[in-house]
Amino acid sequence: MFLIVLITIGDLRLPIAMTRAKALARIATSAPFGLGRATVIDPSVRDVGEIKASKVRFDRRAWNRELKPVLEAMRVELGLPDGRLSARLDKLLVYGPGQFFKPHKDTERSDEMIGTLVVVLPSRHKGGSLVINHQGETRRFVVRNPADPLLRLFAFYATCEHEVRPVSEGHRVVLSFELRFKCAGKKGLVEVEPALEKALESWFDPAREPACSYAPDAEKLVFLLDHDYSQRSLSWQRLKGVDHRRAEALHEIELLRSFSLTAVKPAHFKALLPLGQHHGADFCQTLFAHWSGVYRPKALRKSASGSRKNGYGRGFDRESDRHRLDWLSSFAGFCRRVNALNDDAWKAVVEPVFDTLYEIAIKDHAKHHAMVSTRSRRQNVARECTQIQSLLEAAQEINGSKVNQIIVMLIQELEHYASEVPVVVLEHLTKYEAEGKLDKARESLVTTTRKLVKQRAVTAIRAKDDWRIDVPASCKCADCQMLIQFLQSRDRSIDLPLAKERRQHLHGRIERYEIPVSHSTRREGRPFVLELRKLHKLFVEAAQEHARENELLERAVLA
Ligand SMILES: O=C(O)CCC(=O)C(=O)O
Ligand SMILES: [Fe+2]
C-alpha cells in the first residue's frame, strides 16, 4: 500500500474516510476540459473537482515498482508493440454526489500519449461508473465495494470515447494518469511470410492478368487499418496490434517506404468507390462508422437506413469536428458519384454522413451565433453561407426531405442568422427543381426572409441626432446598469469617477461588446474619472448596415 500526500491537506490514507473525501472536494477546483485549442469549464459537460498533480505527492519509487509489471501487462493487452508504456500523473479527481463527466475523448497532450490510466482509489461511493467505448463495444465498469482497500486500474486508448456516470452517494476519488508509449524500435518480431513478397510483386507486375474486376489497373494497394487512430497518433511507430504486425511484415521485405499512412479523405473516393462496390455494405459502413461517431456495424446491418435511434455520446473533440467539416466542400461531389454508380451499399452510407456533417455544421453555427461581438459574428457569415450551400447541394443529391430539413431549420433559426444566409439559400433554391412538397417550405422561407430583412433594414435607420445605443443587458451590477442607462439615453458623453476595478470592468465590457463608445481614464482627483464618449461611427455603421440589408432585400425579392 502506498501513501498519498496532498500538499494542502497532508496524508491521504486509504481507504479514504468520508470526512477526508469531503475535505478533498472542498479544496478541489472545477475541472476544465479541452474544446479544440481552448480549455473551458462547463458543468453541464464536466462536473468534477480536480487537484493538480503538482499538489499530489506519493512515493513514486514504490508506486513504480508496483505498477511496472501492471503496465507491461497493459501494453500487451492494448496490442502495443515492444516498447515502454509509462504513466504520468495528470491530476486527482473528486466526484461528489451528482458529479459526472459526459462522453468525450481525451486530448492527446503529447506525441507519446496513447491513452489514459484511471486509478480509482478506495473511497465509499455509489454510482460513478466508468463507461468506455472501443471499436463499437461499450463496456461499463462498476466498482463493487468501493471502500475495500484495493486500487482499481482502468486503461484505455485516447481514441476511446468514455464517460463517468453521475455519482449518487459518497465520493469517487481517482488518480488520472497520461499513458505514454515509446516504441522499442524495430525488431524482427514477425515471421516473414514469403508469400507476401510474391503477392506484392505480382500485384504490381504490368504483365499480370487483372487480379480482380474492381482493380483492373492496380497502381495502388490500399490497406485499411483495423484500429482507430487520431490524427495525431497516426504514425508507423504507434500502430496498434494487427496493424503494427502488418507494417512490420512490410518492413521486413523492405516495402514499408512504398506505403504512406493517411486518414481517409474525400480525395480517396475515386479509388474507394469500386472497392466499396465490390466488398459491399459492411465495408462501406465500417469505413464510416468511426467517422460519423457510430461504430455499430451490426446494428447498421440490421437496419438498412442506418437509423441512429439509440443515442450515442459525442466527443467534445473540436479538432476532429473540424477535420470532419473539411469533407463538406467535396461531399456533394461524392454523393453525385454515388448516384451515378447507383450502388446501394454506398447510398446507405451517404445519409448518415450527411446527418453528421449537418449536425456538426449547425452546432458550429450556433456557437458563433452566441458570440457577443458583432464583428466576430459577421466574420463567420461567409463561412456559414458556404457551408449551408454545400449541405444543400449534398441534400439535393440525397433526397428532397434533406433539403426540406435544411429549410425548416433555417426558418426556425432565422433570427440568429445574418440575412446573407437565407438569401443565398433562396438564390440557390431557385436553381433547384423541387418536388411539390418542397414548394411549401420554400415559400415559407421566402416570406419569412423578406419580412425579416425588411425589418432589419428599417431598424438600421438612424436619425441624425439619435445617439441611443442598444446593448444586451448581461451583467446586472450597478455600474453596468449605469452604463446601459447612459447608452440608451440621448446623451453623448458622461464622466464617471470610479475606482480602478470598476473602471476596468466597464472597459472590458465596452470592448467585449464592441460598443461604439470611447473609454479613457482622466487621471485627476480621487478616484480617477472614466470618460465615456459616444462615437460618430455609430452613424456610419448604421448607414452601412441599412444599405447592406436593403441590398439583401432586393436579392430576396428577386429570388
Ligand atoms: O474519472 C474518470 O474515471 C475518468 C476521468 C476522465 O475521463 C478524464 O479526466 O478525462
Ligand atoms: Fe477522459
**Residue 534 — φ and ψ, nearest 5°?**
-70, 145
Q: Within this chain, do residues 104 and 199 fall inside the same structural domain, yes or no?
A: no
For residue range 173-210, what is the model confidence (pLDDT) as tens digits? Answer: 999 999 999 887 655 444 556 777 777 777 777 676 66
Amino acid residing at 116: T
- State mean pLDDT over 212-234: 71
| Distance (Å) from CA 118 to ligand 1 centroid | 7
| pLDDT of 213 over the 80 cut | no
* Grid cell in block for residue 551: 441590398
**Contacting residues for 240 by C-beta, under 8 A, at least 6 apart:** 78, 79, 80, 157, 227
Stated as kind and residue range, the H or E segment containing 243 is: helix 241-252
Q: Which residues have CB atoms below 5 A from the ion given as ligand 2?
A: 106
ipTM above 0.95, yes or no: yes
pLDDT at 552 (0 to 100): 94
| Distance (Å) from CA 44 to ligand 1 centroid | 15
Q: Within this chain, do residues 454 and 485 fall inside the same structural domain, yes or no?
A: no
In a domain, 440, yes or no: yes
| pLDDT of 31 over the 50 cut | yes
In a domain, 547, yes or no: no
- State mean pLDDT over 94-120: 89
- State mean pLDDT over 162-181: 95
What's 525-550 look like in SS3?
Answer: CCCCEEEEEECCHHHHHHHHHHHHHH
pLDDT at 215 (0 to 100): 58
Q: Within this chain, do residues 32 and 93 fall inside the same structural domain, yes or no?
A: yes
Q: Within this chain, do residues 229 and 287 fall inside the same structural domain, yes or no?
A: no
Q: Within this chain, do residues 208 and 138 fall inside the same structural domain, yes or no?
A: no
In a domain, 397, yes or no: yes
Nearest atom (ligand 1) to Cα of 33: 10
pLDDT at 413 (0 to 100): 95
Burial (CB count <10 Å: 0-12, 13-18, 19+), residue 311: exposed
* Grid cell in block for residue 151: 486500487
Task: Give the confidence band of 36 by pLDDT, cuts at 50, 70, 90.
Answer: low
| pLDDT of 309 over the 70 cut | no
Q: Within this chain, do residues 528 and 386 fall inside the same structural domain, yes or no?
A: no
**Contacting residues for 197 by C-beta, under 8 A, at least 6 apart:** 253, 255
Nearest protein Cα to ligand 1, atom 10: 106
Tell me what percent of the residues of the chain surpass a pLDDT of 70: 87
| Distance (Å) from CA 531 to ligand 2 centroid | 48
Stated as kind and residue range, the H or E segment containing 6 is: strand 4-6
Task: Give the confidence band of 313 by pLDDT, cuts at 50, 70, 90.
Answer: very low
Q: Within this chain, do residues 160 and 98 fall inside the same structural domain, yes or no?
A: yes
Tell me what percent of the residues of the chain surpass a pLDDT of 90: 43
User: Nearest CA to 247 among 189, 332, 182?
Assistant: 189
Strands, E assignment, 3-58: 4-6, 10-12, 29-30, 33-35, 38-40, 46-47, 49-52, 56-58
Domain span including residue 453: 266-460
Pocket test for ligand 1, best of 52, 102, 106, 153 (most atoms within 8 A of CB): 106
Taking the C-alpha atoms of residue 164 and residue 397, their distance in angstroms, rounded to an integer, is 40
Q: Within this chain, do residues 160 and 232 fall inside the same structural domain, yes or no?
A: no
In a domain, 556, yes or no: no
Q: Within this chain, do residues 250 and 305 fall inside the same structural domain, yes or no?
A: no
Taking the C-alpha atoms of residue 469 and residue 432, their distance in angstroms, rounded to an integer, is 42
Mean pLDDT of the chain: 83
In a domain, 555, yes or no: no
In a domain, 527, yes or no: yes
- State mean pLDDT over 43-49: 87
User: Nearest CA to 317 among 363, 381, 284?
Assistant: 363
Task: Give the confidence band of 376 by pLDDT, cuts at 50, 70, 90.
Answer: confident
Asked which of 226, 242, 258 is the last residue of a domain, the reply is 258
Amino acid residing at 312: Y
Nearest protein Cα to ligand 1, atom 9: 176
Range list of H helices, 234-327: 241-252, 269-279, 281-289, 297-302, 318-325
Are 497 and 525 within 8 A, CB to CB? yes
DSSP class of residue 53 equals G
Q: What is the three-class DSSP state of 19?
A: helix
CATH number at residue 525: 3.30.1370
| pLDDT of 318 over the 50 cut | no
Q: What is the three-class DSSP state of 264?
A: coil
Burial (CB count <10 Å: 0-12, 13-18, 19+), residue 306: buried
* Grid cell in block for residue 515: 460598443
Pocket test for ligand 1, best of 45, 108, 159, 174 (most atoms within 8 A of CB): 174
Q: Within this chain, do residues 271 and 223 fall inside the same structural domain, yes or no?
A: no
Residue written as grid cell 445574418: 418
| Distance (Å) from CA 339 to ligand 1 centroid | 44
pLDDT at 179 (0 to 100): 93
Q: What is the three-class DSSP state of 463?
A: coil
User: Nearest CA to 426 among 398, 454, 392?
Assistant: 392
| pLDDT of 461 over the 50 cut | yes
Task: Give the confidence band of 2 by pLDDT, cuts at 50, 70, 90.
Answer: low
| pLDDT of 296 over the 50 cut | no
For residue range 480-532, what is the model confidence (pLDDT) as tens digits? Answer: 999 999 999 999 999 999 999 999 999 988 888 889 999 999 998 889 999 99
> Domain count of the chain?
4
Q: Within this chain, do residues 176 and 203 fall inside the same structural domain, yes or no?
A: no
Q: For 83-87, 241-245, 543-547, which range has the lowest pLDDT when averaged over its residues?
A: 241-245
Rg (CA), the chain: 30
| pLDDT of 400 over the 80 cut | yes
| Distance (Å) from CA 105 to ligand 2 centroid | 6
In a domain, 554, yes or no: no
Asked which of 202, 225, 258 is the last residue of a domain, the reply is 258
In a domain, 471, yes or no: no
User: What is the CB < 6 Å shell around ligand 1?
Assistant: 93, 101, 106, 118, 130, 162, 164, 174, 176
* Grid cell in block for residue 61: 519509487
| pLDDT of 65 over the 60 cut | yes
Asked which of 429, 460, 491 is the last residue of a domain, the reply is 460
**Contacting residues for 500 by C-beta, under 8 A, at least 6 apart:** 527, 528
Q: Within this chain, do residues 449 and 516 fall inside the same structural domain, yes or no?
A: no
Are 290 and 326 within 8 A, CB to CB? no
pLDDT at 307 (0 to 100): 33
